[in-house]
Amino acid sequence: MLDIALVAIALAFGAALIRVLRGPSVADRAIAADVALYGVIAAIAVLMLRQQAYELMDVVLVATLLGFLATVALSLLVGRRGS
């Protein structure tokens, strides 16, 4: 079951990378980069469960916090460019 989750995450990651490369606007690229980051975080979390390596939970939490801060910073940047 976790293998299916990893495949789904990989497909979402690939779609996000395509949007990063082909996105028509900066906002689309920023959202796609955010989705790609959270895809990596989700893959780490699934692998953590699969390998029962619960020490990776710290990595997941820190990466999630950094992703949130990056999203806030990008939204402020895109908001300033739009106005």
Residue type, 9: I
H helix runs in the chain, sequence order: 2-22, 26-51, 57-82
Whether the pTM exceeds 0.75: the reply is: yes
In the structure, what pLDDT confidence band is assigned to residue 13 with cuts at 50, 70 and 90?
very high
Q: What does the pLDDT look like over 28-71, one tens digit per residue?
A: 888 899 999 999 999 999 999 999 999 999 999 999 999 999 99
**36 touches 17 (CB < 8 A):** yes
